Structure 1
Amino acid sequence: MKTSFSEAVSSRPVGLFQLSVVLAVLLVLLFDGMDAQSLGLVVPIVLKEWGIARAEFGWALSASIFGMGVGALAGGWLGDRIGRLRSLFVSVLVFGCATIAASRAGDVPAMTALRFAGGLGFGAAGPNALALATEWMPLRFRTYVVALLAIGSPAGGSIAAAIAPFVLADYGWRGLFLAFGAGSIVVGGLALLVVRESPSFHLAQGRSDKAHAVARRVFGAQVELVPERADGPRGGIDTGVFDRANLRLTLGASLAFSALTALVYSINYWGTELFTSRGLSQAEAIGVIFWGGIVSVLGALLSGWTVRAFGSRATIVACSLAAFAVTVALGAVLGQQAPSVAAVTVLACALGGIGSLGIGTLYSTIALGYPVSCRSTGIGLGMMTGRAGGILMTFYGGSLLDLGGASVMPFFAVAAGCTLLVGASAWIVDRHVAPARPE
């Protein structure tokens, strides 16, 4: 009997190879997050070493975010043509080498150029990782896999924050960059050796013999495969990412990603400077980022369950309202003369958890919403356009802090506005993940 690979893999128990694919991809995303977070952790140190103002450094901080946007679309496009696995490995080489090179930077222009190059790799990794892992898993587990992979960046940031104090004490910020970059390349090489391209992709490319060979090796038996049926509004016809059928999905997801990225990156990239400027020590500020990342991991993992239980639309709206309340509260606490470290930590953790819950939900929405033929490109396009808010908030975050002077109101007013845009986006998207039916 002929069947699609998604149907075939969904009718069988999850095997060791499939678990190894998810683990390998997760490790790549962990190092992606570590490299991406590295500069944000050392902002006060670099500002002091180079003798520059916060606003001047916005170029360097925002460069990687801009690179991520370009890299997400380019990497997604490449993944739909040469394969998700090859594109994933290329992305790791790019951001690993760029992070190593950044350890030698001596001024803002050099750091900006290298972080942009690294951002290309950071961005390209995401869509290919999601597409590759979800195509190997049964349909019933895909939202959970997306949720697990969504912890890559926040968990990587937390690992970086945990390691940073020890590495900085002995080797400085340059040693930190060197270690993270080298580790990324090693992990990328291991992933290339372990993982295989999915039969779904081979079939979409017209390589039926290759698809059947891979499926036979994994299943241990011959399976008669046919290309995936696109579950879109065109009744099963494959559509391109720019087709009208995908327009509302792309626009709504882009708006939500943009707003959530602005919110999360405002803390990840300017958090240490914001907290230290309000009286916290460098160690306390990094500690807040560390615990925020830990809770972010929990939020991302929770998204797999909430999407299946309540659907993606209800989850996104709930995240919007909760994030608004927490953002206002955090701004009020930091506006005090001597803010409580405990209160700042709790609120920052809550914001990180809610943000990751929302991002994980969006990943599930777009990963399951686009057909195989343009899945990587669709995910990449959503990520690219969604970086706009992150770029603006990262670039102008220092200016907002300077604008407020002794007040954090301008900074948090913009952050609160972003939370409301997330809720609005839920009604633009027309291809939400519906709640799972009781079995």
Structure 2
Amino acid sequence: MYSHATAVADSPHTTLNVQALIDESRMSPFQYAVLFLCFTVLALDGFDTAAIGYVAPALVAKWGVARSALAPVLSAALFGLAFGAMAAGPGADRFGRKPVILVSTLGFAIFSALTAYAGSIQTMAVLRFLTGLGLGAAMPNAVTLMAELAPARRRSFIVNSVYVGFPLGAALGGFVAAGIIPKYGWESVFLLGGALPLLFLPVMAKLLPESVAYMVVRQYPASAVAAVLARICGKDLGHVTRFVAGDGGKAPAAKGSLAQVLSGRYLLPSVTLWTTYFMGLLIFYLLTSWMPLMMKDAGFSIEKAALLSALFPLGGGIGTLAGGLLMDRFNPSRVLAFTYLAAAVLLVAVGQSLSGGNVAAFAVLVFAAGTMVTGAQASLPALAAPLYPTQARATGIAWMLGVGRFGGILGAMIGGVLLGMQLPFSVILALLAAPALIAMTALAILAKRTRN
């Protein structure tokens, strides 16, 4: 856990606890600027991640392939997301949060743009995998950076405000796809997904800071730490000769960041977080990858199918912000456990509502289910961040995201199988209540263990 000790640790004006200083200070304009930058990184990440689901109906129509043939393309980016996250976490704990964010953003921008020129399923699958490596590396480090720059009393809400960028970016992809695919073709979605992060990259390079907690742990010069803290807190700290991190500073010499995450102290929290994220992404990616096709099979046009499907991640914005507020006031694990329980109920209700023929009621329930599923999923990094020390935090969050991505891969694959079996939409949604209940159980175990 982060320390809540006072900022000055020993002799007056010589040693300062950086996390305590941030905790004691109000959010500054600079911190809000960093929040916006990290939010934008995740919005671009969400846009590119969800893009393939929105263009899938157009690909089926243009290439004349069976829906099940798209399964490798839909899952390729998820493999990249998993491996990108798992590699980037230890990388960021070694080289810093900022350089990994910049390199990964450049990577997913380039490969997203190249996807527009794919002429076959095989080529597109390779390019989506490479895009996923960058996408998977950017997300956990943007979240980690913001968690380490946020005051403890508002950390969950602030981190969730960053993470809400992902579902909003994914939802924006649906609205954009519905507008530009009929005019410019499916290629335009990927070209836009590559151009936007490239345009944003110079802004991040200039304005994004490094984590001060990371700088302290890696023994940066005191002047460099003081310069970043001055921008955060508006105080002249040139007189400080030594900075310490809020969680004790240095890692045990014999353990790397991954070894700490898997050690006895952190193993149970890690496993419960992995299980929860796995189950949540199974639900999320099955629906975001295949719901447009499910809607088209139900009789909707390609444009309306994209719009209705976009309501699912769009609801996550409200759920994420509400979850952050509640997590700062109550036991965060219990808050998210109840959210997954509500998600299970709503998923069943969504499936049942389509048979009634009331499109408005169906749309409301899709939005409500997305509010719970996506909101809970987006809140998990805020839950994970304070469970790990600075020297292993990026790895802890990244491995939760990386291991969980295999749930997304499984969801994308299962979706193709279920559609191939021609199961009714209501049955598919009822089956998805099971992973929501498993996630609820894992969080209940974590709540009992942490008691926070």
TM-score range relative to shorter protein: over 0.9
Over aligned residues, Cα RMSD in angstroms? 2.1
The 1:320/1:213 distance shift into structure 2, 3 A limit, reads: closer
- Structure 1 equivalent of residue 370 of structure 2: 352
Q: Distance in 2 between matches of 1:327 and 1:377?
A: 32
The 1:358/1:242 distance shift into structure 2, 3 A limit, reads: same
| 3-state secondary structure, aligned to 1:339 | coil
AA in 2 matched with 1:261: L
Deviation readout 1:343-362 (Å, 9 max, x if unpaired): 32112111110012211331
The gaps in structure 2 that reach 5 residues or longer are 1-7, 9-14
- Structure 1 equivalent of residue 35 of structure 2: 22
Q: Distance in 2 between matches of 1:146 and 1:87?
A: 18
**Pairwise CA distance, 1:273:** 0.4
- Structure 2 equivalent of residue 332 of structure 1: 352
Matches within 5 A, 1:240-389: 240-334=260-354, 336=355, 339-389=357-407
AA in 2 matched with 1:345: A
Deviation readout 1:161-206 (Å, 9 max, x if unpaired): 2222222132111012101211112213311111110221111112
The 1:329/1:430 distance shift into structure 2, 3 A limit, reads: closer
1:115 matches 2:132: no
**Pairwise CA distance, 1:249:** 1.1
Select which of 172, 179, 183 maps to 1:166: 179
Q: Distance in 1 between matches of 2:135 and 2:308?
A: 24
| 3-state secondary structure, aligned to 1:42 | helix
Q: Distance in 2 between matches of 1:185 and 1:230?
A: 38
Q: Distance in 2 between matches of 1:393 and 1:162?
A: 23
The 1:107/1:339 distance shift into structure 2, 3 A limit, reads: farther
Q: Distance in 2 between matches of 1:147 and 1:48?
A: 38
Q: Contact (CA 8 Å) 2:82, 2:133: kept in 1 or not?
A: yes
AA in 2 matched with 1:281: S
Q: Distance in 1 between matches of 2:447 and 2:434?
A: 23
1:211 matches 2:225: yes
Q: Distance in 1 between matches of 2:80 and 2:427?
A: 26
- Structure 2 equivalent of residue 130 of structure 1: 143
Q: Distance in 2 between matches of 1:158 and 1:372?
A: 33
Q: Distance in 2 between matches of 1:92 and 1:432?
A: 36
1:8 matches 2:24: no
Q: Distance in 2 between matches of 1:217 and 1:28?
A: 21
Deviation readout 1:116-161 (Å, 9 max, x if unpaired): 1111111111110011111112111211111101211110012222
- Deviates most, 77-86 or 303-312: 303-312
- Deviates most, 8-17 or 422-431: 422-431
| 3-state secondary structure, aligned to 2:421 | helix
**Pairwise CA distance, 1:108:** 1.1
**Pairwise CA distance, 1:215:** 2.3
1:180 matches 2:200: no
Q: Contact (CA 8 Å) 1:147, 1:300: kept in 2 or not?
A: yes
AA in 2 matched with 1:360: A
Deviation readout 1:322-360 (Å, 9 max, x if unpaired): 1111111222234x3x73322321121111100122113
- Structure 2 equivalent of residue 225 of structure 1: 243
AA in 1 matched with 2:124: M
- Deviates most, 246-255 or 180-189: 180-189
- Structure 2 equivalent of residue 78 of structure 1: 91
The 1:198/1:299 distance shift into structure 2, 3 A limit, reads: same
- Structure 2 equivalent of residue 52 of structure 1: 65
Aligned residues: 428
Q: Distance in 2 between matches of 1:377 and 1:322?
A: 30
Q: Distance in 2 between matches of 1:166 and 1:329?
A: 29
Identity over the aligned pairs, expressed in percent?
A: 28
Deviation readout 1:59-93 (Å, 9 max, x if unpaired): 10011111111111111111111110110011111
| 3-state secondary structure, aligned to 2:209 | coil
Q: Distance in 1 between matches of 2:39 and 2:278?
A: 23
User: Structure 1: which 4+ aligned runs deviate by more than 4 Å?
Assistant: 430-435
- Deviates most, 9-18 or 372-381: 9-18
Select which of 389, 404, 408 maps to 2:425: 408
| 3-state secondary structure, aligned to 1:225 | strand
Q: Distance in 1 between matches of 2:450 and 2:199?
A: 36
Select which of 417, 438, 442 maps to 1:421: 438
1:65 matches 2:78: yes
Q: Contact (CA 8 Å) 1:158, 1:293: kept in 2 or not?
A: yes
Q: TM-score, normalised by structure 1?
A: 0.92
AA in 2 matched with 1:291: L
AA in 2 matched with 1:11: E
